[in-house]
A and B are shown apart, each in its own frame.
Chain A
């Protein structure tokens, strides 16, 4: 059994049944990370000593008969904008290089209480917006499928680590697509849950009203297990929903027979034209869902450009407010990409911001109303497979080519799932979206598709990568 590819769901039985020791599991992944992460840079701060402490504690508890749940003894990682008490939360930036967290983020508290084994802090785009960057104190993460290629961002290390078999689960954040982008590029499952389902407390903000904490895993079931652990009302997060609840695994295995799926095809065929291989991958996935019994039809919403303009006006305004003091005092300490992307908010007029939020309400209300006639929506996540990481023009071109931002505007749950591979072996993906708090339903659809296609059984062959 290759522990690198063990899922959380499979680990449950082995750990609880004492057929696998949490220490043995952690050591196997520590060994893998030590052998391969020098080429991928998924970790910004790898903490094997802390991992072994957590693993030994989990082992002792399990041997005593104490079982905390599906994450007990299972390794995980945190995007380095999420606080872990006593460790720096750097946001991958010189500016916060020495910023030591005084307390756990809410999500970290939940993962600790669940008995997870903390493996370290994962690479991110600088302040969750500026990357991939080569002018920062730490290098950017690379794509395990081809490390000359971008792994997406901003939760880049979270995507790379799960795809590479370093971790079965990782935490990321998503403000304009930053969980779903690396999930798409790295061929793993990534969710941006409903806004307010998971607490943002202890997470460095990018844009308050668009930030979501999410999870990346290799399978849909694992992703649902993770969200069940990290979801829940937090009275200390002003954006936390009072309705926040779990139950994400409740509908797994029920199939898609009779479910109504609305395909927002215009996002990736008319508003933007996706790479033909991506379009073919999504269309094939939609046909598979129809073959499995779903009722599929095309639906129309506002043009993608309007959604993106709304998202970016709000995002850049709120982000610049967070960064204004640093921009005044030490602009030279940002990487060039983060600096330029954050500067876009410097002169947004108050009326423009307010109008963007007014449009947000009307567009979101119309979008949510569509769910009286559909159960879930499907569309593209990325328009293109991952480009080369050393090609700034390709990075800038593909950065904007996505259909993720609309669902940060609406606050809807949105899940990126793999739908195959390009001819050169890079992952393809689609997005499944639901109405607020319908995570269980979108996991049901994704799980049915995953079970029918088995893309998740393919893994990058790190051992065969002999390039320096």
Chain B
């Protein structure tokens, strides 16, 4: 679907909407050009080839790697690198 061409006033309102209130007219012209380029790029992405089950390249995983040393809160004192114990409610689900 072809998008209607974005106008200067529209992009100015959009910029203000995300807190970009210090842009000069020259900056806004740049934003307008850049946004039009981004829209054209979006139009050329072959999204029609995607099926509902096609997952993104970054998939959040839990405990895919060893717990990091920077996460001491996850390690009960003296327990080394073990996971915290289940609560009674969680145990009930097992």
Q: Which residues of A contact B (CB under 8 A)?
A: 209, 235, 242, 302, 305-306, 308-310, 312-313, 316, 324, 327-332, 336, 339-341, 343-349, 352, 354-362, 364
Contacts of A359 in B (CB 8 A): 45-47, 49-50
The answer for the CA separation of A344 and B23 in the assembled complex, in Å, is 15
The answer for the CA separation of A347 and B18 in the assembled complex, in Å, is 9
How many positions in chain B have a CB within 8 Å of any CB in the partner chain? Answer: 32
Contacts of A308 in B (CB 8 A): 41
**Is B45 within 8 A of A332, CB to CB?**
no
The 8 closest A-B pairs by CB, nearest first: A357-B56, A343-B34, A344-B34, A340-B30, A360-B57, A361-B57, A357-B57, A309-B44
Q: Given the known inter-chain contacts A328-B20, A329-B22, A362-B50, please indicate yes or no for A345 contacting B30, CB distance below 8 A.
A: no
Question: Which B23-66 residues sit within 8 Å CB-CB of chain A?
Answer: 23-24, 27, 30-31, 33-35, 37-38, 41-42, 44-47, 49-50, 54-58, 65
Contacts of B46 in A (CB 8 A): 302, 306, 359
**Is A331 within 8 A of B22, CB to CB?**
yes
Among A328, A330, A341, A349, the one with the most B-chain Cβ atoms within 10 Å of its Cβ is A328
Contacts of A330 in B (CB 8 A): 22
**Is B33 within 8 A of A340, CB to CB?**
yes
Contacts of B85 in A (CB 8 A): none
Among B14, B30, B49, B68, contact of A339 (Cβ-Cβ < 8 Å): B30
B38 to chain A, nearest CB (A): 5
Q: Given the known inter-chain contacts A331-B20, A359-B50, please indicate yes or no for A347 contacting B57, CB distance below 8 A.
A: no
Can you list 16 contacts pairing A with B, beta carbon distance less than 8 Å? A242-B65, A302-B46, A328-B19, A331-B20, A332-B22, A336-B30, A344-B37, A346-B34, A347-B35, A354-B56, A358-B56, A358-B57, A359-B46, A359-B50, A360-B56, A362-B50
**Is B42 within 8 A of A358, CB to CB?**
no
Which B residue sits closest to A327, measured CB to CB? B20
Contacts of B57 in A (CB 8 A): 209, 357-358, 360-361, 364
